[in-house]
Amino acid sequence: MPSEAKYAELSPDGKSLTVHLPLTLRKRGGRKIIISPAGAQQWTPARPRIDSTLIRALARAFRWKHMLEIGEFATVIELAAAERLDRSFVSHVLQLTLLAPDLVEAILDGRQPVGVQLQALVRGLPVEWDRQRELMASSC
């Protein structure tokens, strides 16, 4: 909203007040959330946003990585067959084990940026931790 814009207007008869709030509504996982403008003060403390789909995928990824490391499965193809999943899906989910430790912790604590979703993380995730952090920060 431009700086000269009015945030509140009183009706001519003085019986109603119209308040204009600069905000964005986004739908995430079937829920609507309010995104305040950049630089705006938070009006309520941020609550953890536990993304159970993302947490489940992280758990699977680290379990599968462990299974491969101990030799339970020799290849991703064998692992995918045993799990009855597509090997490309298993490969994509396994990429989550390359996430920076602080990003994994943020996801587990529900502190990940609003725009971070599983589909975005498993497609084209950079290996460098600094680039991952930049990607997560730009997902807001």
Question: What residue segments make up the domains of the chain, in order of their start?
Answer: 52-138
pLDDT one-digit tens code per residue, 47-95: 778 899 999 999 999 999 999 999 999 999 999 999 999 999 999 999 9
pLDDT at 5 over 60: no
- The DSSP letter of residue 129 is H
**pLDDT for res 43:** 61
**pLDDT for res 136:** 82
d(CA 86, CA 56): 17
CB 113 within 8 A of CB 78: no
pLDDT one-digit tens code per residue, 93-131: 999 999 999 999 999 999 888 778 888 888 878 999 999
Give me Rg for the CA atoms of the chain: 21
Longest dimension (CA), the chain: 78
d(CA 139, CA 127): 17
Local confidence band at 2 (pLDDT 50, 70, 90 cut-offs):
very low
In this prediction the pTM is: 0.66
Q: Within its chain, how far is the Cα of 61 from the centroid?
A: 17
